[in-house]
Structure 1
Amino acid sequence: MNELPTLDLSRFAGPDRAAFLAALRRTAREIGFFYVTGHGVPDDLPGAVLDASRRFFALPEAEKLTVEMVHSPHFRGYNRPGWELTRGKPDWREQFDLAAERPALPRNGGLPAWARLQGPNQWPVSLPDFQNVMLRWQDEATALSIRLVQAFAAALEQPEDVFAPIYDDLPNQRIKIIRYPGRDRSEETQGVGAHKDSGFVTVLLQDRERGLEVETPDGWIEAPPRPGTFVINIGELLEMASSGYLKATMHRVVSPPAGSERLSVAFFLGAKLDATVPVLELPPHLAAEARGVTQDPLNPLFMEVGRNYLKSRIRSHPDVAKAHYADLLTPEELRATGPGSAY
């Protein structure tokens, strides 16, 4: 395999639904990544989202730092290059993280630690249209993601709404707006290190520059931008729920060459923070093909959604962890926290 397949989601509701589900099932089991067309997202929205992202990154650094993530116990806001870690190594990208706009929960109410993840976003005051564009993208990407989750359920011969109880009302929605600065090839080129995503699905909007790479049985392949499509990948939640039939796949981004930049906007749909991942009872012919959940000692997985998500946020953002979650860290972890550190 030297390129990702392309699937037309409009076929899910069409006369060739069965053929579409067979193709989706095969793709989900073998690679876990594909381009999607027929997604129903308005034509004008991807360009508006990318334009708003460029305007944010063009702001003076001092203004971007007023909404720096370290100010937010909910892991929302801006990160400078090198301030997020993947598998203990700094990622060379600047980014802005958003999530569902909800009120913060009380810290003294006896709630679990992951309840601190819920709360409001930080917004750049000099870009008054930025919030509206991003929340519109969140709505459209959520609707697309739910259709995809329903299609995955149908492909596994489950009711389409089998996962609805853990995403209805309070789904875990997150947007990551990312700029990868160009780097000389003599430097470290980890735009973002190899990793898997933790939720149901990821919807990735790419600009013009290449850089995304996906691990396949034949090695790493490129996933370059294709107009009119989004890149879709399966998260660990669906891998756990399907006992490994659906595949969460390692992927990475290589920094673009010096003198250029790469822009992308990722949307992640996850389950409610208080949910527990259900394990589906697959029909025998599918259960026989389930490979089990991948075990990675560097990334232990929990069936409790909030616990799993908080684990990854704390490991990725040690400065935020030190500022807002110090009570959860050991003395050794506290000493190790800081930009570019790992524990």
Structure 2
Amino acid sequence: MTDAPETLPILDFRRFDGTAEERRLFLADLRDAARGPGFFYLTGHGIPQELIDDILRLSRRFFDLPEADKLAIEMVHSPHFRGYNRAGFEHTRGKPDWREQIDIGSEKIARPTDPAAPPWRRLQGPNQWPAALPELQPSALRYLNEITRLGIRVLQAFALALGQDADVFEPIYTPKPNQLLKIVRYPGREKAAGDQGVGAHKDSGFLTLLLQDVQGGLQVEGARGWIDAPPIPGTFVVNIGEILELASNGYLRANVHRVVSPPAGTDRLSVPFFLGAQLDAEVPQLALSPELAAGARGLTQDPLNPLFREVGRNYLKSRLRSHPDVARRHHPDLVDATKAAEPASAY
């Protein structure tokens, strides 16, 4: 007999707001999920289904636009790494990812150029929105606000699961966390053409909340190989980012994952949200209880993806590596600093 394939746990977030005993058991399950695959499905999350349906509907409408309308907001026009990318224009570990996508963040005014300022200050700026689909902007920003609120509550649950105050991370994400929303389409293709929808990587923020449509493709690195994470209606897939690994000295560990391209004749839509700390923050190391500290595994040592406690430095590293065309056009003075290491983290 063969072992059954590994699967990801499913956690009901309503238990977090239940009785004291329900919360205690939920936090224990959360800790186990985070210590195991580092990924889980979250149900009972409270995001309205009509908002979820709306963002998926508008995502499909955007990708159905003529190419000229999409290229009008191509990311290469934005020094802040916002806007549209054609398939093959984002890279993970030096290889092109076969997906088209829009990157959206919080709407902010671009800072004046200051050569003496930290380079990550250049990341602040406005989004690019498609003139051919004006409905996308209000819907995406509403979704961004709602998913950010949920992400912060999940982050508070992680803090409690680590024996900390719920708001222990508040100093590094207030007054507003770093937000990145991607609206992604993976075109189907023949296996002979390659299957890298997104190459194997880790996420750099606190955590990621992923909305999937109906087509699978996400895979998580497990003890016995890749674990499939097919879509489950009414759920988000949640995973840990490098900030939580840094803060917990590896008690929580950001896990490797990838997306395999769907078969030819199909495609896959997904909307991942990445919750990060403020770019001017430094990630603290939490004082864990002796019991939890004994289980801390230390930080991942990957020479191709060094971890920095300076949030802006860590995030800028990922942006420059993932989007070499934007880096060359808008930040040529920073490109040389990243040549020594191959691209690693996609976010």
Using the size of structure 2 for normalisation, the TM-score is 0.94
1:179-328 correspondence to structure 2 within 5 Å: 179-328=185-334
- Cα deviation digits, residues 260-314 of structure 1 (max 9, x gap): 0001000000000000001000000000001111111111111000000000100
1:11 is aligned to: 15
**Which position in structure 2 is the counterpart of 1:141?**
147
Report the identity percentage: 64
CA distance in 2, matches of 1:328, 1:225: 39
User: C-alpha offsets along residues 211-254 of structure 1, whole Å, 9 cap, x if unaligned?
Assistant: 00011112101000000000000001101100001121100000
Secondary structure at 2:70's aligned position in 1?
helix
SS at match of 1:186: helix
1:75 matched residue in structure 2: 81
Distance 2:334 2:236 in 1: 37
Tell me, yes or no, if structure 1 residue 2 matches structure 2 residue 17: no
Cα separation, 1, equivalents of 2:137 and 2:229: 29
Please tell me whether the aligned partners of residues 68 and 78 of structure 1 are also in contact (alpha carbons under 8 angstroms): yes
Letter in 2 for 1:277: V
For 1:178 and 1:4, locate their aligned partners in 2 and report how far apart those are by CA, in whole Å: 22
Partners in 2 of 1:160 and 1:91 — Cα distance? 37
253 and 331 in structure 1: CA distance in 2 versus 1, 3 angstrom threshold: closer
Deviation for aligned residue 1:332 = 9.9
Check 1:331–1:6 CA distance in 2 against 1; reply closer, same or farther (3 A cut). Answer: closer
Distance, in Å, in 2 between the alignment partners of 1:327 and 1:221 is: 40
- Picking from 109, 116, 132, the partner of 1:110 is 116
Structure 2 match to 1:340: none
Contact 2:148 / 2:275 at 8 angstroms: preserved in 1? yes
Q: Given the alignment, which residue of 171, 174, 182 partners 1:176?
A: 182
103-112 vs 39-48, greater mean Cα deviation: 103-112
CA distance in 1, matches of 2:164, 2:147: 23
Q: Shift of the alpha carbon at 1:109? A: 6.8
Gaps of 5+ in 2: none
Residue 101, structure 1, aligned to residue 107, structure 2? yes
Question: How far apart are the structure 1 equivalents of 2:186 and 2:13?
Answer: 30
Q: Measure the CA separation in 1 of the matches of 2:335 and 2:101.
A: 25
Q: CA deviation at 1:43?
A: 1.6
**Contact residue 31 and residue 247 of structure 1 kept, 8 A:** no
CA RMSD of aligned residues (A): 1.6
SS of 2:172's equivalent in the other structure is helix
Kindly provide the amino acid, as one letter, of the partner of residue 261 in structure 1. Answer: D
1:119-138 matches, cutoff 5 A: 119-138=125-144
Residues 30 and 247 in structure 1, CA contact (< 8 A), matched pair in contact too: no
Corresponding letter in the other structure for 2:322: S
The number of residue pairs the alignment matches comes to: 336
Q: Matched residue of 2:244: which SS? A: helix
Q: Is the 8 A contact 2:199 2:258 kept in 1?
A: yes
- TM, length-normalised to structure 1: 0.95
Paired with 2:208 and 2:305, the residues of 1 have a C-alpha distance of 19
In structure 1, list runs of 5 or more residues that go unmatched: 338-343
Residue among 77, 85, 90 paired with 2:91: 85
